[in-house]
Amino acid sequence: MIRRFPDLEAMSRAASDHIAERIRQAERFSIALSGGHTPGRLYELLGQRGDIDWSRVHLFFGDDRYVPPDDPRSNEKLVRDKLVSHIDIPAENFVPMYSAAGWQESAERYERILRGFFAGRPYTFDLALQGMGDDGHTASIFPGTPPTPSGRWVVATAGTEEAPERVSLTLDCLAASREVIFLVAGESKAERLREIMDGADYPAGELARKSAHAEWWVDEAAGRLVP
């Protein structure tokens, strides 16, 4: 399913309302957050709301670069600056990926946390909020990433030259969410989105196919090539 918006601001406001309503309907609500430029405005809007009971919300990450949390490249820093520093959320409800113990150790630790948190549930996150890179990647699963071991939820994976070490949820873990929403904005995403809609084999498209409930939220620029 594709939902279209005139611009990033309209899409961010709609996503903020959608998430707030989903939280109101739940006793405990878990979100896998994405990084990058696109969700930043959404995080700001969520941080400004007065109608969310953050004590019932648990914030996780879909991926992060293995850099210290004060590094400008860190998704943790992005979320802290734009959202967490503006809301009253219990410290234990915000679960970053980075651990000073090491790259591989961070992935193994995060898997243990998720397995414990979701034990006994038929699904993982209530909402996996994901993006799509210009190359069709999602989380830190890039085109050409080696297949992840069966059953794994979190992997230490290679990224880009700018940040080669990353920790990422697997497509299987994300697809097991009750709802997956891709936020896609900008002219640079248009061609890749068209290819994915036509069935091209990119990680973002694979996640959408694996998911029982996936939606593409796109602005006018990103969706201009999709009928």
For 79-137, the pLDDT digits (tens) are 999 999 999 999 999 999 999 999 999 999 999 999 999 999 999 999 999 999 999 99
Q: Which of 181, 182, 183, 186 has the alpha carbon at shortest distance from 220?
A: 186
Give, rounded to a whole angstrom, the gap between the first and last alpha carbons of the chain. Answer: 12
pLDDT interval class at 28 (50, 70, 90): very high
Helix 40-48 to helix 75-82 angle (10° resolution) is 30
The burial of 31, by beta-carbon neighbours within 10 Å (0-12 exposed, 13-18 middle, 19 or more buried), is given as buried
Residues 6+ apart with CB under 8 A from 162: 73
- pTM comes to 0.96
Tokens read off for 13: 């406001």
- Span 34-44, pLDDT tens digits: 999 999 999 99
